[in-house]
Structure 1
């Protein structure tokens, strides 16, 4: 099997022209709840630049200049112990630097990544710091970038501490890096480093104090088998699915994303429970990430985490036996419940009784977003040809959403138990909607 070899590793610091000076950043409830979870791991694949001469040095230099606009990413998380077995955490913007890894996959081509039906295992090696949680890397680099040279391509992957940034801020940084790499002296959207706290966290209550983290049980050294595949849904396919869901539900409120989510939820549950009795009260959980930027609202360019998780369950029998419109209505109602008042109350309640999210198998969860600007990341040699995520948070039932290369489409990176994914591929009801 082809391997990835690390050629070098170094620390990249800000270039010194700090465009947005900041010395410290207190973490918000939205940040802190993610401490025990895995980091964000996303990356993009390119065909070879016309010339690879000085490619690595160019990317190091442009990364350094980009950090001038994102000083928190060059910092370190620091802890302070307090009485009563509590601690506080803040981001020290000390320019300790970002780790940059140069790697080579000498026997791997772009076709080796894109042509197999299932995502090949080597993709996991395109990402640094695998197997570590956000808490594990306290005092270590907040961001680690890895540039992997393929036979005829380049993969740029990043691992970022999810207790510091969410997907919106992650792609904001990636977009800015590509702008600087193309030769710009500035970036088109300036990050805003004023963290948002609810009204029950005045200035003198910051940073928030938390009970010392209880360690999760150690994960098995041999994880359960999983397969991953990218399913593409074109703009036309999504339009038809949306129309079908709204027609079945006799409404016009269901969005394309909600219709797609319902289709995936029903199809995977049907295949996962195939051959089992659904009359035993078995439940089918559903989880989704709800963004808060437009709900609170927060300023354009807000840096940090601005999200809450939303969950519900439906009986497996009800989900499978009723149509996609029925499931889509439930998803629509779940999202609609998260008004400005509701999400602020959730965060205020968290401050009173903080709980940290835990790793686990949620059976079905939708993550990331098709609204991120992925294919606009031109580093100076053309747009990406594909996007992939790393092994972090990969559980049976994880759906990672990306925009498709063509406008209006959505790609879903599906992670499932092998028997479930194979059943999905043989399921006519699912595949009739899937666009090759």
Structure 2
């Protein structure tokens, strides 16, 4: 394990949105949360962390690149104005909203670390989870705020840039998911990186010709879900009932990355065909997408790891249900047109379930794949059929040592965010330390592959690594 590093803040400032002179950017004073935003009030802030190689001293970075980073950020916030706004959480019965004004800004910190950049950004080794929290800013979980405070206000975005002299730097962000989903955040990062690349004279092929859509009327609450979610929000906020503990225990926790390539996915699909033939059931392997195949394999590996690690606490759980939670894009599922530039959340919650004993059995891969595929098809058919239970169902998942939850999406091209000095060397999602989720994104180096980010106690991570490696050789179905 690498030595414990220190991080020193060398600058703390505010970055404001660039004033707009274009009529295409109408002024915004407030933006109500829709029923698709409200469930995210229960979640801790997202904390993506981007590693970039930069073999120059801090003085070169602060004099040459830092001014362009700040200026391009200001220009980007002009197009994503609510990110610099404030989330207002009034007492009931008033609804939460985003407030925007001329004095809006975001916190921007510049830091320097003596840590091992190459070790922290390595995709092939286990790393101390505590080391990453020094590289991302902090935002207060919303459920820890007071329900009786009429002036309860929260910033929505904060950024920290940390230099590792002569090696590289990181861009760490913290943002409240209630303001934007992964698609919106990805759009913001694309605009910021493109503008910065243009400023330093290394323009990309990306063109920025569209502004964010703030029209809340495009999201239609035809199932009366806003009232259900608000009641749950007020109840939990009044009683200070966060989804996860505010106290983060990272002792002996390590972070690691695993990759599923297209060949691996095809191998999993082949195993499913073999199992179906043995059981003389009708083959449906072509119905299993790369996402389903990856998640099914991951689910079985994790359940088997739990068995080895004793997370069942000695109880017989073979007859118990095990849950697998995931996020599903809503643009094609809500049943009405939503612009791709819509600013806000347009996603749904999915939850697959299977009997634990069947998952660890010889047909576990098939059981997991069918369960996940079934949950996705249910969302495809009627995204809001079980939406009234989203909050209560996900309370079971978040922070659980038994159930599995996956965050992120391999459809977001985060590894294409080039600020002018190359693609990210590594991307991490630090929030999963808190939620005990697993991050899933596109692979940086394996075309068509998926990158799996995990944080586990070291003994459990080592057990998972063995099961994952041997599982790809066929041990899960032999």
Query: How would you bin the TM-score normalised by the shorter chain?
Result: 0.7 to 0.9
Q: Report the CA distance between 1:346 and its aligned residue.
A: 4.3
The verdict on how the C-alpha distance between 1:314 and 1:224 changes in structure 2, with shifts beyond 3 A counting, is farther
In structure 2, distance between residues paired with 1:273 and 1:221: 24
In structure 2, distance between residues paired with 1:154 and 1:8: 15
Q: Report the CA distance between 1:108 and its aligned residue.
A: 3.0
SS at match of 1:271: helix
1:180 equivalent in alignment to 2:209: no
Q: Point out where structure 1 has 5 or more consecutive residues left out of the alignment.
A: none
In structure 2, distance between residues paired with 1:327 and 1:115: 27
Q: Superposed, which structure 2 residues align to 1:61-210 within 5 Å?
A: 61-82=71-92, 86-95=93-102, 96-114=104-122, 117-120=125-128, 121-129=130-138, 132-136=140-144, 139-151=153-165, 152-183=167-198, 187-195=208-216, 196-199=219-222
Q: Report the CA distance between 1:426 and its aligned residue.
A: 2.6
In structure 2, distance between residues paired with 1:157 and 1:271: 31
In structure 1, distance between residues paired with 2:120 and 2:249: 25
Alignment coverage as a number of residue pairs: 423
Deviation string 1:256-289 (CA, Å, 9 cap, x unpaired) is 1101111111111012113767575233221111
| Conservation of the 8 A alpha-carbon contact between 1:134 and 1:162 | no
Q: Partner residue of 1:266?
A: 300
The verdict on how the C-alpha distance between 1:246 and 1:15 changes in structure 2, with shifts beyond 3 A counting, is farther
Q: Partner residue of 1:2?
A: 5
Query: Quick one: which of 234, 252, 257 aligns to 1:230?
Result: 257
Q: Partner residue of 1:418?
A: 458
Deviation string 1:368-406 (CA, Å, 9 cap, x unpaired) is 01111112111111111111111455344x210011113
In structure 2, distance between residues paired with 1:395 and 1:331: 20
| Conservation of the 8 A alpha-carbon contact between 1:126 and 1:157 | yes
In structure 1, distance between residues paired with 2:391 and 2:365: 36
| Conservation of the 8 A alpha-carbon contact between 1:77 and 1:92 | yes
SS at match of 1:146: strand
Q: Superposed, which structure 2 residues align to 1:185-334 within 5 Å?
A: 187-195=208-216, 196-199=219-222, 211=234, 213=237, 214-216=239-241, 219-220=246-247, 222=249, 225-246=252-273, 248-249=275-276, 250-251=283-284, 252-274=286-308, 280-296=318-334, 297-321=337-361, 322-334=363-375
| Conservation of the 8 A alpha-carbon contact between 2:110 and 2:161 | yes
Q: Report the CA distance between 1:107 and its aligned residue.
A: 4.0
Deviation string 1:47-91 (CA, Å, 9 cap, x unpaired) is 107752332221111100111101111110113334xxx331111
| Conservation of the 8 A alpha-carbon contact between 2:15 and 2:106 | yes
Structure 2-normalised TM-score? Answer: 0.80
> Which is further off, 424-433 or 103-112?
424-433
The verdict on how the C-alpha distance between 1:354 and 1:372 changes in structure 2, with shifts beyond 3 A counting, is closer
In structure 1, distance between residues paired with 2:461 and 2:47: 22
Q: Partner residue of 1:380?
A: 420
| Conservation of the 8 A alpha-carbon contact between 2:261 and 2:449 | yes
Q: Report the CA distance between 1:425 and its aligned residue.
A: 2.1
In structure 2, distance between residues paired with 1:107 and 1:202: 47
SS at match of 1:29: coil
1:55 equivalent in alignment to 2:65: yes
Query: Quick one: which of 434, 437, 440 aligns to 1:401?
Result: 440
| Conservation of the 8 A alpha-carbon contact between 2:127 and 2:256 | yes
The verdict on how the C-alpha distance between 1:389 and 1:221 changes in structure 2, with shifts beyond 3 A counting, is closer
Q: Point out where structure 2 has 5 or more consecutive residues left out of the alignment.
A: 146-151, 277-282
Query: Alignment RMSD, CA only?
Result: 3.1
| Conservation of the 8 A alpha-carbon contact between 2:123 and 2:256 | no
> Which is further off, 45-54 or 121-130?
45-54
Q: Partner residue of 2:280?
A: none
